[in-house]
Amino acid sequence: MAFKDLREYIAKLEETGDLQKIDEEVDWDLEAGAIMRRCNEMSGPAPFFNKIKDYPDSHRILGSPMATFRRLAIALELDPDTPYSELIDIYNDRIKNPIKPIQVSDGPCKENIKLGDDVDLLEFPSLMIHEGDGGRYMGTWHISAIKDPDSGWVNWGMYRLMVHDRNTLGGLIIPFQHIGMLFNKYESRNEPMEIAIAIGPEPVTTFIGACSVPIGVNEADVIGGFRKEPLEIIKCETVDLMVPASAEIVIEAEVLPGVRRDEGPFGEYTGFQAGGKGPRPVIKVKAITHRNNPILTASNMGYPVDDNGIIQAVSIAAILKSELLRAGFPITGINVPPEASCTMCVVATKTPYSNIANQIAGFVWSTKAGLVLPRVVILNDDMDPTDMQMVMFAIATKCHPVRGATVIDDMPACPLNPFLTLEEKTQLKGGNVVYDCTWPLDWKKEDTPRLATFNNIYPKDIQKKVLDKWEKYGFKQ
């Protein structure tokens, strides 16, 4: 059975040893963030803060909910040790079978309803996560629901949210994200855009909310397919949107047209506090509903690996693998390494003709999922793209420093990439590169270097003999 809510997921994480309850009082101002960051960098358990300074014990925080592949596997009701390559294939299997949500008339997120002047975002222990952040961030692991004013399509995505004051939030809205496309429609008509922010729903909801689901597809349907049962959703009080009924906290609001207020910087998924401060859209809160004893969820993005790196490593790789195979490319493996802050893609392929590396890279960059991947590495099919030691070896020994790298300038770029100039960030442009680590097809076989590995440079009978006698040599299997 799928997890009913966040609390069941927390209980499971504790059971598997993937959660650390912290009963010591922890300060919301940097201390909790520092603990989360340390846990991320050690691939440690998710910290669950039971006592936050200045707040009642009833207000708790789950930090880094999905910052390891183990926790993602648990969220999907899989063996915690499910390999990365299997997670990619499971993603592609489950996304093919959407299940529509079920609307309910009541749910846990309605246990407390606050409207108008009773709204107070500061009632919740939002964190100052990194030193130098523009403010306290309430939205770092959640979903935001927005409706297309033309088609009625509803997008559930994850977009950061900074607290300005008791009833105002600010956020970074990037034009090529779904929220940016929709907000552009509302603002061009001088209309406010309704938004509903659900914090702490059951775990699959936030996972899918962070993934690159195609435009026009309702994430709520995809979530049902991944859970193998429909998600329960409930109508908001003041905006015409639905949210997960089990959410811990729901914020109902409007993004105001033509209004800007400084937001940021924030330590981001690219590993740096690189986005800067700038005038960004303002979100006016109309209502807050929440469960009794609400649990806030928080992600600490930065140096890998964090929640975003884990989610994107699976979802982007799965989407690209599916689309590349559908397009007929003879790929044999794929990896979007969380160690590279998910700004690079590694593809292993057969090489039926010359320059297939550039063609594969061009196809990757033509997709929405590949838009945030300025570097593509192409390997021969005898190499494992998920083995980062092998990837580094291939880049260093098989990619010619000049002929092996093809650079394409003036490509669309994510403004959070730290290597971009201020002008490039403002204009959302940068450069892409493909590293061709495949052997040229016009080389003679005898001139092609032979990979010197146990599996490749010794006869099969010698390999078998050594493996059969391994323990006799005194080694452990």
Task: Report the 10 Å Cβ neighbour count for 200.
Answer: 31
The two most distant CA atoms of the chain are separated, in Å, by: 79
Whole-angstrom distance, CA of residue 45 vs CA of residue 36: 9
pLDDT at 139 over 90: yes
Span 271-295, pLDDT tens digits: 888 778 999 999 999 999 999 999 9
pLDDT at 70 over 70: yes
Query: Quick one: pLDDT band at residue 4, thresholds 50, 70, 90?
Result: very high
User: Which residues touch 398 (CB under 8 Å, ≥6 apart)?
Assistant: 379, 380, 404, 437, 438, 439
What dihedral do alpha carbons 415, 418, 419, 421 form, nearest 10°?
Answer: 50
Question: In the CATH scheme, what architecture does the domain 327-456 have?
Answer: 3-Layer(aba) Sandwich (3.40)
pLDDT value at residue 342: 87
Average pLDDT of 408-433? 89
Q: Which of 142-156, 332-346, 403-417 shows the lowest per-residue confidence on average (mean pLDDT)? A: 403-417
Q: Which of 75-79, 191-195, 253-257, 411-415 shows the lowest per-residue confidence on average (mean pLDDT)? A: 411-415
Locus of tokens 């590279």: 340
Side chain identity, residue 173: I
Domain positions in the chain are 6-298, 327-456
Average pLDDT of 382-387? 94
pLDDT at 38 over 70: yes
Run of H or E including 4: none
If one looks up domain 6-298 in CATH, what number appears? Answer: 2.30.110.10
pLDDT at 45 over 70: yes
Tokens of 309: 């790196």
pTM of the full structure? 0.91
pLDDT value at residue 2: 93
Whole-angstrom distance, CA of residue 442 vs CA of residue 351: 12
Query: Quick one: pLDDT band at residue 187, thresholds 50, 70, 90?
Result: very high
pLDDT at 398 over 70: yes
Contact of 266 with 279, CB cutoff 8 Å: no
Tokens of 470: 């391994």
Whole-angstrom CA distances from 144 to 251, 254, 426 are 9, 11, 24
pLDDT value at residue 263: 96
pLDDT value at residue 477: 67
Whole-angstrom distance, CA of residue 288 vs CA of residue 275: 29
pLDDT value at residue 274: 77
Contact of 385 with 335, CB cutoff 8 Å: yes
Contact of 67 with 83, CB cutoff 8 Å: no
Span 435-446, pLDDT tens digits: 999 999 999 988
Q: Is 339 helix (H, G, I), strand (E, B) or coil?
A: helix
Query: Quick one: pLDDT band at residue 57, thresholds 50, 70, 90?
Result: very high
pLDDT value at residue 218: 95
Average pLDDT of 376-383? 96
pLDDT value at residue 273: 86
Tokens of 225: 């397919």
Span 80-107, pLDDT tens digits: 999 999 999 999 999 999 999 999 999 9
Rg (alpha carbons) of the chain, rounded to whole number = 24
pLDDT > 90 in the chain, percent: 87
Could you check whether the bond before residue 265 is cis, i.e. omega within 30 degrees of 0? yes
Average pLDDT of 257-274? 91
Locus of tokens 């979007």: 336
Task: Report the 10 Å Cβ neighbour count for 33.
Answer: 24
